[in-house]
Amino acid sequence: MTMTFKEIKESEVIMTELMLPSHSNFNGKIHGGYVLSLLDQIAFACASKHSRAYCVTASVDTVDFLRPIEIGELVTMKASVNYVGRSSMVIGIRVEAENIQSGEIKHCNSSTFTMVAKDSDGKSLPVPGLILKTDNDIRRFAKSLKRIAMKRNRKQEFHDTDFISEEYLHIQELENVKIER
């Protein structure tokens, strides 16, 4: 099997959408859930463009809501493949909102999604490798490696505390919790 490689720019996707009142809460801010839906769509588009296959969301790794998005702002999402494994891809997404009247642009959200390429039977497919050309490409790739290691450690730590034992009863003294048996 011949390994293929793609430049990051070959898979980049940009989506722009006007934020409407139907996307907002009672305070005139856009619902985080609506933004998450848009993030999932662009992550799918970017991963599918890179792999030329149907992709599924394996995990939403980070979603940092930095600034609120207002009704009437033009939201632009930029997605790129930051890392690839055998069948998985880490997609980085930047969300900016533009006030159409003033032209002011603000960075509102940064997110990373892990997507997996699938065949018609639901089995994982190998994806093309990445050609890293710029310092920014290398930085994003390295940060993805660090996030993957942190995620693996977090899963192990959570698994290690996945039981009740006398060892954890001291939590009652440290936290605002009462353990009754």
For the chain (length 181 residues), average pLDDT per consecutive 10?
Answer: 87 98 95 97 98 97 96 98 97 98 98 97 97 96 94 79 61 62 61
The answer to whether residues 42 and 79 touch, using CB atoms and an 8 Å cutoff, is: yes
Residue 158 has what pLDDT?
73
Residue 163 has what pLDDT?
58
Residue 12 has what pLDDT?
98
The whole-model pTM stands at 0.86
Q: Which of 50, 56, 35 is nearest to 111 (CA)?
A: 35
**What number of other Cβ atoms are within 10 A of residue 145's Cβ?**
13
Q: Which of 112, 2, 125 is nearest to 60 (CA)?
A: 112
Residue 154 has what pLDDT?
83
CA angle (56, 59, 62) in 5-degree steps: 130
Residue 155 has what pLDDT?
80
Q: Which residue matches tokens 């992709």?
A: 55
Residue 66 has what pLDDT?
97
Residue 167 has what pLDDT?
61
Residue 55 has what pLDDT?
98
d(CA 71, CA 169): 48
Q: Which amino acid is located at 22 in the chain?
A: S
The answer to whether residues 9 and 130 touch, using CB atoms and an 8 Å cutoff, is: no
